A and B are shown apart, each in its own frame.
Chain A
Amino acid sequence: MSNPMEQLLERRENAEKRLRREKFNAKVRITVGSATCENAAGAPDVFKKIEELIRKHGLKDVTLSRVGCTGRCDMEPVVTVFSQRTTPVKYIAMTPDKVEKVFDSHVLKAIPLKALAMPVGVVQDTDFTEEKLWADARLTDRFSSVFGDVHFFGKQMRMTLRNCGVIDPEDMDEYLMVRGYQAAVKVLTEMTPNDVVNTVIKSGLRGRGGGGFSTGVKWNFALAQKNEEKYIVCNADEGDPGAFMDRSTIEGDPHTVIEGMIIGGYAIGARVGYVYIRAEYPLAIKRLELAIAAARQAGFLGTGIFGTNWDFDIEIRLGAGAFVCGEETALIRSIEGERGMPRPRPPYPAASGLWGKPTVINNVETFANIPVVILDGPEWFSSIGTAKSKGTKVFALAGKVCNTGLVEVPMGTTLRDVVYGVGGGIRDGKKFKAVQTGGPAGGCLPESYLDTPVDYESLTAAGSMMGSGGMIVIDEDSCMVDVARFFLDFTQDESCGKCTPCREGTKRMLEILQRITSGRGVEGDIEKLLRLGDTIKRTSLCGLGQASPNPVISTIKHFRDEYEAHIREKRCPAGVCAGLLTFSIIAEKCIGCGACKRKCPVPCIAGKPKEVHEIDQARCIKCGQCFEACKFDAVKRS
């Protein structure tokens, strides 16, 4: 009988034959983005329309399939048209009407419709072929051969997201085409668990879930435990509100995560894996279920996987909306079916985790990097990034930036390059104010910190955090005290209540912030916040409490003047905090149209038609409806 690698390659050959016949050899191949974000933007209607057009014209050599999300979210739905010898053309913000135009021109007449395509920036080689696309290249190269001609993508390096937007996540054969499961088979047949651990240590890969602990060292610790029963867990809880890297990775390339877990399981000696995924991600759950079923069917999961004598299987467990369950000891309790409360460490899960057995917990992104480390080698992997942070990091870029979406850059790229280079700067000509990383555990960094490189140490030193990869850009329209209040509101609500500093402390901090934003702040509040924050940081049980003061401390550090304006002058410089605003009518601009008066719910606006109106300050509830209603900018908000 042939060995496991030969079997896998044979399977790949069959997959290739089928795919060439059904898809790749077509004269025109069309892919439509399909993910939670794409679907929200209207991708399903576009897909249907193309199907209809192909049928209507009776085209036999045009094929259509779904791919994951490329990460260019604000231009979705994205439709990519492949034809031999030209770089694929990416059409953006498609609607059924627009896609019909594209179809008429590009598909029927072979004339690309530049006006509706993503603007290209970088010159690409023009002899793109499907042959080259699927060749055994370095895993990270494939993405840029399809998307690299666009500025947004050309400035990135796709390692974790290498297959997202390239392959059909619901078709395992396409994953095999991109050397899928070769890393797993290589590990199972050619390497000892020790070899795997050493390779991962050598690569310098660090956990992408926030802590940045060396993955190899963690695995080594679990490997050293003498226990028949061990577990490996994928943390797909993605609790940071404002991050979606893990969702996109699973929706776009679920098999990569499975493969990473197989390798991790073998390395530490775990035969059972769990994926803990949040219930708010129905599509990701569905794709993962499909992928696990396909892998089981092929014998990649189950007993004697890939024809070796190693057993490994994966079970999905759903979260239920508790941020603290992203913390590893709480996550373990939740998988066990309990209230997700953390416990003190040590013992670390690697020694005593699920049901008291050695357990390794890694983030989705961490697992997605493992096949790259194995196939392209630890030396190559560690050549990317900085001295202490290797590889790339995916950020979910959102907020007031022009290009929102997923951005993957080598570690050490500066914040400025991410926000301005890839992100294209601030929307609507507004002024940059801050960039928030690390979610509720992180901080806000002002303009003067934009040259900070993104790596674990630099971001922490600057007073923020790498976190799991949320990156929210904030412009002059946001009030930083209000942003701090927002995060405290979140952590206070999510505090599990087990330890006092976090339970009581965050509540008190929130109260002070509410007082300040409603105009009742008093001298000394800032100092009180700092003192409380320091205590909470030092005495909380888990990472949730320990990091909860960070958004407050960092905004006080960098935007103290805004706090002071609220407290001393009872003024919100950004015009956000409703309790501190006054609305008045500028007599010179008011034409007496009465629009504000009709909108006012109190009502506190008086004035005859065609005469200047007036707001009764005593009765005004500061709802701001008059401000929005006025077409002549005659209502002043200050």
Chain B
Amino acid sequence: MKNELLQKEIDKAMALLPEPVVRYIQDCAKKKNPNSHLISVLHKVQEHFGFLAREHMDAVSVLMQIPAAKVTGVASFYHFFNFTPRGKHRVSLCMGTACFVKGAGKVLDKLQDLLGIKVGETSADGLFSIDVARCVGACALAPVMIVDEKVYAGVKPDQLVKILGEYGFNPKKAKK
């Protein structure tokens, strides 16, 4: 009876997560210290969905047989994980020391102003979300901004409209 219930939960969890992640979890289970792979599993889940939803973390908990409280606890400890959906394009502005000294603060002000949102939020049209990064390792080219995977160097506030334009930025729609 008990096993049946567990199997049901496992089936449900497997249906929720993308297949490669499920396979990865199964591979980890065969290794020494399987629980130590929790963070890399969460990385993979976030890579796929863009964020960590409650149900996905619960599914990880069932499949790895780690208490849900612990999965959430680990996920919430690390800045890299986020728990709300992100915009189609993720704009991440570096706020490391070099970028700060070179005026990243002004770029951020302008960015928030253009999109009508604050850090961690998503624009009204769902196109952009803003995050701040802690140094992406291109300090010599500060201030640095990353949209999705593309790195922009030496960004000035008045270049933002053009850069965002490459991703379909429309001032009216963004702010609504």
Partner-B contacts on A (CB < 8 A): 36-37, 39-41, 73-74, 76, 238-244, 247-248, 279-282, 284, 317-323, 334-340, 355, 396-400, 404-406, 436, 439, 470, 472, 474, 478, 483, 486-487, 490, 496
Contacts and interface: CB of A to CB of B under 8 A. Distances in A.
A281 B134 CA distance: 11
Interface in B109-137: 133-137
Interface string B92-106: 000111111110000
A399 B101 contact: yes
B101 A400 contact: yes
A40 B144 contact: yes
A40 B96 contact: no
Nearest to B78: A320
B151 A398 contact: no
Contacts of A248: 137
B166 to A, nearest CB: 14
A487 B73 CA distance: 26
B39 A318 contact: yes
B51 to A, nearest CB: 14
Contacts of B81: 320
Interface in B27-62: 33, 35-40, 42-43
B138 interface: yes
Contacts, number: 142
8 contacts: A73-B138, A240-B97, A241-B97, A279-B43, A317-B36, A320-B43, A321-B78, A396-B140
A279 B135 CA distance: 12
Contacts of B99: 242
Interface string B75-87: 0011111000000
Given A279-B43, A398-B142, A340 B137 contact: no
B40 A318 contact: yes
Interface of B: 33, 35-40, 42-43, 73-74, 77-81, 95-102, 133-142, 144, 149, 151-153
A399 B43 CA distance: 32
Give the residue among B99, B138, B140, B152 with the most A Cβ atoms within 10 A.
B140
B39 A334 contact: yes
A626 B133 CA distance: 29
Contact of B141 (A74, A238, A339, A436): A74
A538 to B, nearest CB: 26
B153 A335 contact: no
Judged by DSSP, the binding face of A is mixed
A102 B144 CA distance: 28
Given A36-B136, A244-B135, A280-B134, A340 B78 contact: yes
A337 B139 contact: no
A87 B99 CA distance: 35
A581 to B, nearest CB: 14
A323 B99 CA distance: 17
B36 A40 contact: no
A439 B97 CA distance: 8
Contact of B140 (A238, A355, A404, A496): A404
A338 B142 CA distance: 33
B40 to A, nearest CB: 6
A336 B36 contact: yes
Given A335-B36, A405-B140, 16 more contacts: A37-B137, A37-B140, A37-B153, A238-B137, A242-B96, A242-B98, A280-B137, A317-B39, A320-B42, A321-B79, A322-B77, A322-B78, A336-B36, A339-B74, A398-B98, A487-B97
Contact of A40 (B39, B101, B152): B152
A436 B102 CA distance: 14
B107 to A, nearest CB: 13
Nearest to A623: B109
A321 B73 CA distance: 15
A356 B101 CA distance: 42
Given A37-B140, A39-B151, A337 B37 contact: yes
A474 B35 contact: no
A95 to B, nearest CB: 13
A144 B15 CA distance: 57
Contacts of B139: 73, 242-244, 396, 398, 404, 470, 472
Contact of B96 (A241, A336, A478): A241
A241 B95 contact: yes
B73 A339 contact: yes
A281 B136 CA distance: 7
B137 A247 contact: yes
A335 B153 CA distance: 32
Contacts of A280: 80, 133-137
A378 to B, nearest CB: 32
Nearest to A283: B137
A320 B79 contact: yes
Contacts of A76: 141
A284 B138 CA distance: 12
Contact of B138 (A40, A339, A355, A439): A40
A483 B39 CA distance: 33
Given A73-B140, A241-B97, A470-B97, A339 B77 contact: yes
A151 B78 CA distance: 42
A6 to B, nearest CB: 35
A470 B139 CA distance: 10
A241 B134 contact: yes
A322 B79 contact: yes
A36 B151 contact: yes
Contacts of B135: 240-244, 280
A323 B80 CA distance: 11
B74 A40 contact: no
A242 B96 CA distance: 6
Given A322-B77, A355-B33, A472 B97 contact: yes
Contacts of B73: 339
Contacts of A439: 97
Nearest to B38: A337
A496 B76 CA distance: 11
B112 to A, nearest CB: 12
B101 A474 contact: yes
Contacts of A399: 97-98, 101-102, 142
A173 B169 CA distance: 46
A281 B140 CA distance: 16
A300 B34 CA distance: 26
A321 to B, nearest CB: 4
Contacts of A490: 134
Chain A CB count within 10 A is highest, among B33, B36, B138, for B138
A505 B152 CA distance: 37
B97 A486 contact: yes
A317 B40 contact: yes
A483 B152 CA distance: 24
A95 B67 CA distance: 53
Given A37-B140, A242-B135, A318-B43, A279 B80 contact: yes
